[in-house]
Amino acid sequence: MVGIVYKSTGSWYTVKAENGDFYECRIKGKFRIKGIKSTNPVAVGDQVRFEVETIGDDTIGIINEIEDRKNYIIRKSVNLSKQTHIIAANLDQVFLLVTLNNPPTYPVFIDRFLITAEAYEIPVVLLFNKVDTYAPEELDEIKFLAALYRNIGYTCLGISAATGKNVDKVKEMMIGKTSMFSGHSGVGKSTLVNALEPELEIKTKQISQQHAQGQHTTTFAEMFDLSFDARIIDTPGIKGFGIVDMEK
């Protein structure tokens, strides 16, 4: 059978088959010794081939082949510096959520992310979120940053996932595509997904006031089919972004 990986939780993968059914799958051991240095040989968005087995009362899938990826977003693994972590594969575009504060997103983080996406020819849209919370001088700073990235060819949009400002424009850009949402914890990824598709009710948490950093609410990447002919991959919040596996 052929399917697409919708969810990755350690050694188990949720795969949506061509017939629309979902299967809980594991991988054959050989994937782990094929020279793949990634902590996750199978990523959300991967197209895979699998066989279905019945063990007792359970029906599980065994992934035996990963189709060639058209692209992927990769970074250095947090815990094992010599290994890498593939965040998601086979993307049409990425929305990088940026906040000026609460939590702060620094240009060096934006640049590292853009460089990685550029290396794998993945279009990126910068979403400057929480514009409803900024003082006038902070909005000026956001406008300056947006102008900086627009001048080198990136689409930038000021939004508020909480109030719905420009969420309709984000939705328009997503129709017919597989998109990934990324950014630091607490920038509002899950809030934005909920604004786009309230029925999903993805868990969100308030920003930790003590550290002004988001709390990790999404612990693994997961893909969702949306009602307006789009697919979204919601990802865990990223603290740092280590560049890896590309030519200078």
More confident residue, 23 or 83: 23
DSSP character at residue 80: -
Q: What is the pTM of this model?
A: 0.84
Residue 170, Cα to own-chain centre: how many angstroms?
15
> What tens digit of pLDDT does each residue of 50-69 get?
999 988 888 899 999 999 99
What is the rounded average pLDDT of the residues 168-177? Answer: 98
> What tens digit of pLDDT does each residue of 105-162 get?
999 999 988 988 898 899 999 999 999 999 999 999 999 999 999 999 999 999 999 9
Instruction: Return the CATH number of the domain spanning residue range 2-66.
Output: 2.40.50.140
Instruction: Tell me the CATH number of domain 72-234, given options 3.40.50.20, 3.40.630.10, 2.30.30.180, 3.40.50.300.
Output: 3.40.50.300
Give the residue from 111, 123, 105, 121 showing the smallest Cα distance to 189: 105
pLDDT higher than threshold 60 for residue 34: no
Question: What stretch(es) of the chain map to CATH 3.40.50.300?
Answer: 72-234
Question: What stretch(es) of the chain map to CATH 2.40.50.140?
Answer: 2-66
